Homo-oligomer: A and B are copies of this chain.
């Protein structure tokens, strides 16, 4: 390679992302298991989405794209120990919020206009009501939310129901903020990104549904701050793993609210450097979560059966989320099928990808600046 071609190549790398990046094996120190009825729960949940939310999709083809993402198995992987009826409710809830999240990322749908999105979200909150008692439900979203409320509410304490309302609001607020930041083209700093993502990732209801699945009520202890450290590190692990595994999708969606973009814009890291840095952060937060969890287990609440059940549930939430993110065609391309591998090369441009042992061969069609 001549000096000239090296200069050209270097300029190319500075102005465009390399197409391939390598995802190293992540620690995976937390347990992963599937609900014994996972397969069946996913199917039933797909029926629920078609029935309750089908009309939100532009057409049957778009509904099928969503169903092929297997979002209905997120619940059964994160609450493998739950009573089947509760696991079903949780699966449906996560599908509900993932439908919303999908349209938030879509600039031809909710993602086109943050004011319109905020209006749509207010309508959902009105349908739910401050106590979940419900409004007129003129939209499919509102009817779906009411259906979930009707099924979930009897299994929650009044405290938890209040938190459920608040967690939905916090999720929708996070989504609306993501839309306006993205439309402005701004890339937030790390702490802003984390704060918004805590909302738009649904961290409040992730914690709450972990209680619901374990049939415990941590409202008081959580309010006292007993789980603050475990939540802090656990939720950061969740978000960063998501940013790594969803990077193909976020890049395609030109999303700005992801730590990959934050590290690139604010710390000047290249794509692979950002991936490597995030992998270090995943390990840091995963180990810090385990230490914080053990601190609670060894502390004054450590013999409380409910506390132990909740913490075990958090383990499965974190381990299961990651498993789902390796599995879903949402991140690896519509039509992909997971073969169980968790590390390797990925391409930003391949419509369908999987972890490969080597970078992709050079593209057949010449691309801008990639000559010589």
Residues of A within 8 A of B (CB): 34, 36-40, 42-44, 46-47, 50, 64, 67-68, 73, 76-77, 327, 335-341, 352
Contact = CB atoms under 8 A, between A and B. Distances in A.
Given A39-B73, A64-B352, A46 B339 contact: yes
Nearest to A334: B335
Contact of A327 (B43, B335, B340): B43
A22 B36 CA distance: 34
29 contacts: A34-B37, A34-B39, A34-B40, A36-B36, A36-B37, A38-B38, A38-B39, A39-B39, A39-B42, A39-B73, A39-B76, A39-B77, A43-B327, A43-B338, A44-B340, A46-B337, A46-B338, A46-B339, A46-B340, A47-B339, A47-B340, A47-B341, A50-B339, A64-B336, A64-B337, A67-B337, A67-B339, A68-B335, A68-B337
A34 to B, nearest CB: 5
Contacts of A337: 46, 64, 67-68
> Which of A36, A46, A47, A68 has the most chain B CB within a 10 Å cutoff?
A36
A78 to B, nearest CB: 13
A74 to B, nearest CB: 12
Nearest to A38: B39
Contacts of A341: 47
A50 B339 CA distance: 8
Contacts of A335: 64, 68, 335
A53 to B, nearest CB: 12
Nearest to A339: B47
Contacts of A40: 34
A95 to B, nearest CB: 12
A42 B76 CA distance: 15
Given A34-B37, A38-B38, A43 B340 contact: yes
Contacts of A34: 37, 39-40
A67 B352 CA distance: 14
Contacts of A339: 43, 46-47, 50, 67
Nearest to A34: B39
The 3 closest A-B pairs by CB, nearest first: A36-B36, A47-B339, A67-B337
> Which of A39, A77, A327, A341 has the most chain B CB within a 10 Å cutoff?
A39
A40 B323 CA distance: 11
A250 B75 CA distance: 36
A77 B340 CA distance: 20
A154 B198 CA distance: 51
